[in-house]
Amino acid sequence: MLSSRVGGLLSFGHFQVRQLATVGARMVVRHVVDGFEAFSSFVEALPPAGPSDPHFIFYTGSKDPDGKSWCPYCVTAEPVIEEALKSAPENAHFVKVMVGAREIWKDRNCPFRKDPRTKLVVLPTLVRWKGPQRLQGEECGKPELVEMMFQDFDD
């Protein structure tokens, strides 16, 4: 449960994550989480989603020192997802999860691959948390599919 807000930091018990910004005039709450341990702590503390405040999680390759992901499909998908977020419901949570460097992701024992909550096979992956909606790989770079993800709420 959300316990406090100080400036741009949200505190979930002992875990803090930076709230980046809202998108346009909409109140999409954005978070960036780096690595599996931070992801696990974050989702355990995330308030339950409701019909008017769904949670979307975008799994992507971590960025290099120049700010570019090692994952080419992630690079293609990011601007498409950013644009589609403008049509996301008010109060939706958008969580960008950096899964790690290429070597970490390619390891068959990568926790993002093994964890039953994530079941990742390919990057990028965009999901509605605890819902059936899921886009993977090149699908995340297709504006019409990404827009449907943020607008279609039939479970």
Q: Look at residue 11 and tell me if it is in a domain.
A: no
Q: Is 71 a catalytic residue?
A: yes
Q: Look at residue 31 and tell me if it is in a domain.
A: yes
Q: Is 140 a catalytic residue?
A: no
Q: Look at residue 144 and tell me if it is in a domain.
A: yes
Instruction: Give the active site residue among 74, 77, 99, 126.
Output: 74
Number of domains in the chain: 1
Q: What is the CATH number of the domain that holds 56?
A: 3.40.30.10
Query: How many residues are recorded in the chain?
Result: 155
Cα–Cα distance for residue pair 146/155, rounded to 1 Å: 16
Q: For tokens 């460097």, what's the residue?
A: 101
Instruction: Give the active site residue among 71, 95, 127, 135.
Output: 71
Dump strand ranges (E) for 35-110.
55-60, 93-98
pTM of this prediction? Answer: 0.81
> Which residue positions in the chain have pLDDT lower than 70?
1-26, 152-155
128-152, pLDDT tens digit by residue? 998 889 999 999 999 999 999 988 6
Could you tell me which of 126, 101, 112, 98 has the C-alpha nearest to residue 34? 98
Cα–Cα distance for residue pair 153/104, rounded to 1 Å: 33
Residue range of the domain that includes 58: 25-151
